[in-house]
Amino acid sequence: MGLADLWGHHWAGILLAALLLTTWSPPAAVQFTLDANPLTTTEGEKDVVPSRSGTPWAPQTHGRFRDVELPGRPTISISQDTAIEQREQVTLYCDTKDANVTIHWFSNDLPLVFHERMLLSTDGKKLTILTVQREDSAAYKCKAQGFHQVQSSDPTFLTVNYGPDPFEIKLDSGVSSGEVVEVIEGSNVTFSVETQSHPPPAYSWFLNNNFTLSFTTRTFTIQAVSTEHEGTYRCLVSNLATQLLRLGALEVRVLEMLTKPHIVSPSLNLVESASSVTLTCQTSHKGAGVLWFLRGQALLPSKHLVLSADNRSLVIYGLQRDDTGPYECEVWHWGSQARSEPLTLTISYGPDRVDITRGAASGVVGTIRVELNSSLTLQCQAESQPGAKFHWTLEHSTTVYMGKHLIIGALTWEHQGIYNCTASNPLTHLARSTSVLVRVVGPRSSLSARVIAGIALGILTVIALPTGLGYFLYNRNARR
């Protein structure tokens, strides 16, 4: 074959291919897309692209050719749309007429998370929930994914009934069931129950097993509690759908409104260094706790301050003068307390060391020099409770001067000497003494007053003696 013949055959092939392209297009069932990814395709956006002949022949999405035919929309059937938690099994079936599709399951529009309570058939169409739980309540969908498109079913709803769960009866204070709750007489008390249940449960309240209260809600309030409200409260919670019953109980005690206690002291005359003193917190509330306070602060027990086992008594060992207080006791129970009036102890002590000062001067004196005919004030002092009683004495004299002060208006030589002051306490029966030496200074006369008086008396005696003797002799002679 020559070159011309080869050239002619070549052009003939080209013309034949062009003719085929203009007169034939592939059937819809075998149409294809360029670079298509069937797992990421979506429904919608089916833009029509004309063929080379000018007629629409294939859908396109963003330049990708699509299959004209879509898979059928699946439907879900469910064995039962209401189930009881932990008792029943539910089966969902995704029905689709298309072959070669993949089934995907969704719960509340999110991909279903499979767990050990779920079984899925080999073809993915049958979903079995072996033992339903409350978290299985949801809107379920299945989606059929073909080579090019995905179709979704309408939602199918599954409702799981459950409860009531175990619960506790609570009061406003938050005290749980199984404990004894104390409430104050006259207060308002609210009872409440918290439990999970679907559908919502029914409530019935009982007091002391034989008295049905009229409350049928999860909470109720008693206004102005009194002793007749004391007892064991029970609440019966029931769910007709699950046929479950739950019972809770709470014991309630009604406490009296606390009144102010009183501190009792065994004696009003307390003496320092006594062996012990007992203070008693007197109250009519037997079940109330007791706290003690010293000078406004919580009392801290020690070897010196000892509390009884029930805190009702406080024993003070080795009583000291600074144990005066004030003392308070407080009775309390849940929600209420009352405190006594403060008690201050009067503790007798002393007298301590006795000191003598000159007048109001603070310095203690042992010897005092004073001018003749001048005045002198001595003061005696001693620490004592109650205040000490004082008396003064001068040596070689039986005269006693009473009082804290000893005042001498005009000193003479006779005032010179040792003065003793004694302080005594009638309650402690203690007494202490001290002394001061008083020296009188000044010019002395040649004869003292006593000497002058003695001389005068002697002169009068000498004068009177001859006169009396003459009178005696005269009378004697006259009788003769």
* pLDDT tens-digit readout, 319-329: 999 999 999 99
Contact in structure between 362 and 338 (CB atoms under 8 Å): no
* pLDDT tens-digit readout, 451-470: 444 434 443 333 343 444 34
Percent of the chain topping pLDDT 70: 76
Contact in structure between 390 and 379 (CB atoms under 8 Å): no
Stated pTM of the model:
0.51
3-state SS track over 62-88: CCEECCCCCCCCCEEEECCCEEECCCC
* pLDDT tens-digit readout, 162-189: 999 999 999 876 555 557 888 888 889 9
Q: Would you state the pLDDT for residue 333?
A: 79
Higher per-residue pLDDT: 10 or 114 = 114
3-state SS track over 179-246: CEEEEECCCCEEEEECCCCECCCEEEEEECCCEECCCCCCEEEECCCCHHHCEEEEEEEEECCCCEEE
* pLDDT tens-digit readout, 375-407: 999 999 999 999 999 999 998 888 899 999 999
Helix (H) / strand (E) element for 437: namely strand 430-441
Q: Would you state the pLDDT for residue 265?
A: 87
Q: Which two tokens stand for residue 171?
A: 């009061």
Q: Which two tokens stand for residue 189?
A: 């008390």
Contact in structure between 242 and 85 (CB atoms under 8 Å): yes
Higher per-residue pLDDT: 52 or 13 = 13
Cα-Cα-Cα-Cα dihedral of 402, 404, 410, 414, to 10°? 60
Contact in structure between 213 and 222 (CB atoms under 8 Å): no
Q: Which two tokens stand for residue 74?
A: 């699946």
Report whether pLDDT(102) > 90: yes
If pLDDT is split at 50, 70 and 90, which confidence band does 258 have? confident
Closest CA to 279 of 344, 219, 220: 344
Report whether pLDDT(98) > 60: yes
Q: Would you state the pLDDT for residue 173?
A: 60
Q: Would you state the pLDDT for residue 69?
A: 63
Report whether pLDDT(257) > 60: yes
Range in 82-86, 228-232, 362-366, 451-455 with the lowest mean pLDDT: 451-455
Q: Would you state the pLDDT for residue 445?
A: 54
If pLDDT is split at 50, 70 and 90, which confidence band does 303 have? very high
* pLDDT tens-digit readout, 33-53: 333 333 333 333 333 333 333
The mean pLDDT value of the chain amounts to: 80
Percent of the chain topping pLDDT 90: 56
Rg of the chain, C-alpha, whole Å = 60
**What's the average model confidence in pLDDT over 354-358?**
91
Helix (H) / strand (E) element for 18: namely helix 3-23
Report whether pLDDT(195) > 60: yes
Q: Which two tokens stand for residue 345?
A: 């102890």
* pLDDT tens-digit readout, 408-445: 999 899 899 999 999 999 999 999 999 999 999 988 65
Which residues pair with residue 432 across a beta bridge?
A: 423
Helix (H) / strand (E) element for 57: namely strand 56-61
Q: Would you state the pLDDT for residue 63?
A: 43
Q: Would you state the pLDDT for residue 55?
A: 34
301 prior amide bond cis, ω within 30: no
Q: Would you state the pLDDT for residue 150?
A: 92
